[in-house]
Amino acid sequence: MIGAGRHANNALYPAIVESGLELAAVCARTPEHARSTAQRWGAARHYTSIDDMLAREDLDGVVIAVPAAEYRPLVARCVQAAVPVFCEKPGGQSAEELSELAGLAAAAECEVVVGYMKRFAPAYRRAVGLIRSPGFGTPSLAHFSFTMGRIDEYLADPRHYLIDNPVHMIDLARYLVGELRDISAVVNTIPDVGISVSLVARAEGGAVCSFDFCTTASFAHRGESAEVYGHGSAVHVDNVDTCIHRPVDGPAQVWRPNYTLPIPENSGLTTMGFIPALHHFRDVVAGVAVNESDLESAARTLQTTERLWQQVSAAISCGEAESR
């Protein structure tokens, strides 16, 4: 594992342990962080140099969680060493950078899975199965929302906000209904409070898609939602853990984990998709699964989000983003 930041310690290290994978070594910027993180999560060894770690360890794979601007050299170095990589989303700082890495990985025949973990969350896996079932029909309408509380770094850099958080729903839209085009956005910026963005787009199969993103909500309440309509049927994933199927005839069918049972299937890290994403990485490396979240797909997600950012930045620069 490369990285010892807050997100890595809150989500990825515990997911690695809970997933049954063996954490062989930790690599971090400073000896103190590397040592303490290795001790906390049970790694036998720690490093401050990726080259030292790759040279001394016999690794089946590397998990990377670092700031977006730092992925490229780390992923490229692992690929050069023929070590498969699981990197947290977005996996790089631009679509162009990800496309370049995809070319390197393809030439080296080295697998890289980008951690858009919501693709692997059980509720979304149920949703995609329903959407692709014969009776659902071609998606005709879809709506996605991702709301959160104030984070000061997003106030200072709205592009970072879009690439760091709503990018999840752009990727999910691509996963559930197809590639997006004809993007149009409306923006509301509130000084010292946050930003709100609504956009519409069309999916490749014809579905009309709408999105609502904001940093003006609360972290204490419901954060995300996705709803897709077919030809009479609909499926709704509410707050990542609940999948509601509304068939054309008959009552709604609701699935959610049974949190009263303390088993792996009902853990929060499984519900959010972190553990299933790591299991997918394991299976891809073992050659028993096809990579469902590779660098080329991640590049298309980032390319779509960059088109959204062009709309948002143009609105802000032209004074069209209403401020209150």
Q: Which residues pair with 87 in a beta bridge?
A: 64, 114
Q: At what angle do helices 167-177 and 295-317 cross, to 10 degrees?
A: 120
Q: Residue 284 domain-assigned?
A: no
Same domain, 113 and 124: no
Give the number of residues written for the chain.
324
Read off the pLDDT of residues 82-102 as tens digits, 9 standing for 90 and up.
999 999 999 999 999 999 999
pLDDT digits (tens, 9 = 90+) for 161-180: 898 899 999 999 999 999 99
* pLDDT average, residue stretch 292-304: 97
Span 124-155, pLDDT tens digits: 999 999 999 999 999 999 999 999 999 888 88
> Same structural domain for residues 95 and 113?
yes
pTM (2 decimals)? 0.94
45 pLDDT higher than 50:
yes
Same domain, 71 and 139: no
My answer on whether 124 and 174 are in the same domain is: yes
Torsion angles phi and psi, residue 211, rounded to 5: -140, 140
Are 174 and 305 a contacting pair, CB within 8 Å?
no
User: Alpha-carbon distance 18 to 39, whole Å?
Assistant: 16
- If asked whether residues 146 and 249 sit together in one domain, one would say yes
Rounded to the nearest 5°, which phi and psi values hold at 284? -65, -45
CATH number at residue 130: 3.30.360.10
pLDDT of residue 321: 47
- Same domain? For 68 and 177 the reply is no
- 87 within a domain of the structure (yes/no): yes
State whether 113 and 137 are in the same domain.
no
Dihedral, 267, 284, 99, 185 alpha carbons, nearest 10: -30
* pLDDT at 324 exceeding the cut of 90: no
- Residue 146 identity: F
Mark whether 175 and 307 lie in a shared domain. Answer: yes
pLDDT of res. 203: 97
Looking at residue 132, what DSSP letter applies? T
Q: 111 and 157: one domain?
A: no
97 and 159 co-located in one domain? no
> Mean pLDDT lowest for which of 56-60, 243-247, 316-320?
316-320
CB 122 within 8 A of CB 257: yes
Same domain for 104 and 239?
Answer: no
Per the CB < 8 A criterion, the answer to whether 94 and 300 are in contact is no
Where does the chain show beta strands of DSSP type E? 25-27, 45-47, 62-64, 85-88, 112-115, 141-147, 180-190, 194-203, 208-214, 224-229, 234-238, 242-246, 253-255, 322-323
Choose the final residue of a domain: 71, 96, 117: 117
Domain that holds residue 257: 119-265+295-323
Number of domains in the chain: 2
Please check whether residues 110 and 219 belong to one and the same domain: no
